[in-house]
Amino acid sequence: MWDHAISDEAAFAADFRESYDVLVMFHWRESLSLVARKNLQDFAESGKGIVMIHSALASYNGWKWWWHHVVGGKYQYVTENADDMPKSDYKQGEHIAVRVAADHPITSAVGAFELHDEETYKGIWISPQARILYQTDNPTSDGPIAWTSPYPKSRVVVIQPGHGPSAHRNARYRALVYHSMVWAGGK
């Protein structure tokens, strides 16, 4: 079973731990109410899986617990109150060769692939403790483009590519998202 929420506030308005095994986030939102933060934090701390896709890396920049500990990465979209981080950048219309960086159930299931994505990111913060799953040599990217978070309480996978239809139509990219959800769900 899956559901689609129309907003973060709607998705996290109540405790949702008993309803779902994995949360997939593909959105950008600057902040969350205290109630929504509590419910999202409760979900993460309960051992449930989380898969972060593309623009979700820029969400909740002001909530350090979220991006530093849970996600293990951050696209810095503003420069004020930025924890001394420079603003991240993006490049549209990029072709990337995606290569395996670590032996992992996700990479074993998907392998290396080519991807045309509408947007690559550069200048993102990635936790030194993150386990890098995939990398690219594309100069408009930092290199690591998919990783597992070092967060010990749940399985978190971050996938930097995935801006638009060309990525979403790619069978290997869809396999990456699928196997990330399966792994994050503990299957």
> What is the Cα–Cα distance from 96 to 112, expressed in whole angstroms?
11
**Domain total of the chain:** 1
Query: Strand pairing partners for 148?
Result: 131, 157
Confirm whether 9 is domain-assigned. no
- Strands 22-25 and 49-53, bridge-based pairing: parallel
Confirm whether 60 is domain-assigned. yes
CB atoms within 10 A of CB 139: 10
Confirm whether 1 is domain-assigned. no
CB atoms within 10 A of CB 124: 21
Confirm whether 27 is domain-assigned. yes
H or E element in which residue 182 lies? helix 171-184
3-state secondary structure string across 123-143: CCEECCCCEEEEECCCCCCCC
Query: pTM of the predicted model, to two decimals?
Result: 0.93
pLDDT, averaged in runs of 10, over the chain (187 residues): 81 92 91 95 96 94 93 83 75 93 97 90 95 96 96 96 91 97 94
Confirm whether 122 is domain-assigned. yes
pLDDT value of position 179: 98
pLDDT value of position 8: 87
* Residue 4 token pair: 């689609």
Q: Kindly tell me the burial class for residue 37, based on how many C-beta atoms sit within 10 Å of its own C-beta (0-12, 13-18, 19 or more).
A: middle
**pLDDT per position as a tens digit, 32-54:** 999 999 999 999 999 999 999 99
- Domain of 100, in residue numbers: 20-184
pLDDT value of position 61: 87
What CATH number should be reported for the domain holding residue 159? 3.40.50.880
Alpha-carbon 41 to chain mean position? 16
Confirm whether 11 is domain-assigned. no
Confirm whether 2 is domain-assigned. no
pLDDT value of position 155: 97
Q: Kindly tell me the burial class for residue 28, based on how many C-beta atoms sit within 10 Å of its own C-beta (0-12, 13-18, 19 or more).
A: middle
pLDDT value of position 81: 56
Confirm whether 3 is domain-assigned. no
